[in-house]
Amino acid sequence: MTHNNKIYSVATTGLLGLLLAQQGAAVSTPNFLPEQDQLERNQALWEGLGFQSYQLEYERVGTNLPSTYPFPWAVTVNSPHNPGVITGVDASFNNIPSSVPLPSMESLFTLIQNEIDANTDLDIEVQYDTTKGFPANIHFVRSDGSIYGVQVTHFVPLGGSNTPGPTPTSAQQQLNQAVALWKSMNILKYAYDFNMFGPNPQNIVFPWTITVSNGVQVTAMDGNSNQINWVNNNPHPMSFDELFTMIQSAINQSPKYLEVSYNQQYGYPVDIYIVYDDTTADATVDAKISDFSLPVGR
């Protein structure tokens, strides 16, 4: 069977985009080696780095998607405090039961190998992370025309991995630069959407639409257009200055992992991913800021 198979590499930005919708993933020049060669090279790179414990954000895309546990899933593989176990939370903040197969990087490599061996797809495209080798984007077009897609949008090593995240110094420098840029704008009135992922014991409906006046007066509507009235709960609607304070507090605590991306034009945070403690899911902050707007005629 004739295939139009393309397998190439992409440098992902790390779990919690970190996303860098605004900065984008750095994609290498496509390498059109045979798919089997690309698989073997990247799997060897991944295995050579020796990652045993890690977290990933996993999303299925395409046709015939399962609906019981909505995507994306936050998956923890072989936590140092729960070895040999894969656990996951879905987009509705529900724990995914052990009866549901959860992905690991190893299982994704196996998925690709099985697809190559079957030799029945109309098209196979895989993007691999250029620094770690794991599959970041998988796209199969099956013989019946259906599409099977997988995206690994975030990856965080846990438990003393040999590839740590950004150092506190670099995180501090990035924060300082972002705060300086934001304050230089002297913007006191603005609005933005706030989305948070992970456990949600209060059943909060995201995304929030947050409006800030005079730099400090914060009002917000939840995803059902209901006004949010609390200020002391966690999470709660915050101004950008309060978000900067939260990030500074995290840096001061030396968390397991911290990665933040900032808007290059204004300096406000667009993607925040903090792992304070890899023993519990609620010790992770995964937040995204989007749709920033200024009042007309400012």
pLDDT tens-digit profile of 112-133? 999 999 988 888 999 998 888 9
Length of the chain: 298
Would the pLDDT of 57 be above 60? yes
pLDDT tens-digit profile of 255-280? 888 889 898 888 899 999 888 876 55
Q: What is the DSSP letter of 234?
A: S
The answer to whether the CB of 194 falls within 8 A of the CB of 210 is yes
Query: Which pTM was predicted?
Result: 0.51
**CATH number, span 6-157:** 2.50.20
Q: What is the dihedral of CA 168, 286, 176, 295, to 10 degrees?
A: 180
Banded pLDDT at 282 (limits 50, 70, 90)? low
Task: Give the start-to-end residue ranges of the domains of the chain.
Answer: 6-157, 168-293
Start-to-end CA distance of the chain, whole Å, equals 61
CA distances from 31 to 41, 57, 147, 151, 159 (A): 12, 25, 23, 19, 33
C-alpha 70/C-alpha 96 separation (Å) is 10
Tokens 């257009």 appear where? 225
User: Among 150, 157, 124, which residue's Cα sits nearest to residue 135?
Assistant: 150
Banded pLDDT at 231 (limits 50, 70, 90)? low
DSSP string, 13-44: --TTT---TTT--EEPPP--S-HHHHHHHHHH
Range scoring the smallest mean pLDDT among 29-33, 52-56, 224-228, 257-261 = 29-33
**Pair of tokens at residue 52:** 């045993």
Task: Taking residues 23-47, report their average pLDDT.
Answer: 68
Banded pLDDT at 254 (limits 50, 70, 90)? confident
Q: What is the mean pLDDT of the chain?
A: 79
Banded pLDDT at 232 (limits 50, 70, 90)? low
Range scoring the smallest mean pLDDT among 8-17, 64-73, 168-177 = 8-17
Would the pLDDT of 108 be above 90? yes
Q: What is the DSSP letter of 56?
A: E
C-alpha 101/C-alpha 14 separation (Å) is 23
Strand partners, 139: 125, 149
Half-sphere exposure of 169 (CA within 13 A, CB side): 0
Other CB atoms within 10 A of residue 273 CB: 27
Residue-level pLDDT at 176? 85
**Pair of tokens at residue 284:** 């992770």
DSSP string, 103-166: --HHHHHHHHHHHHHH---SEEEEEEETTT--EEEEEEE-TTS-EEEEEEEEEEE-SS-SS---
pLDDT tens-digit profile of 196-230? 876 655 667 889 999 999 888 899 998 888 888 76
Would the pLDDT of 93 be above 80? no
Bridge-based pairing state of the strands 217-221 and 208-213? antiparallel
Task: Taking residues 72-79, report their average pLDDT.
Answer: 86
Task: Taking residues 37-56, report their average pLDDT.
Answer: 88
Q: Where are the beta strands (DSSP E) in 158-206?
A: 190-197
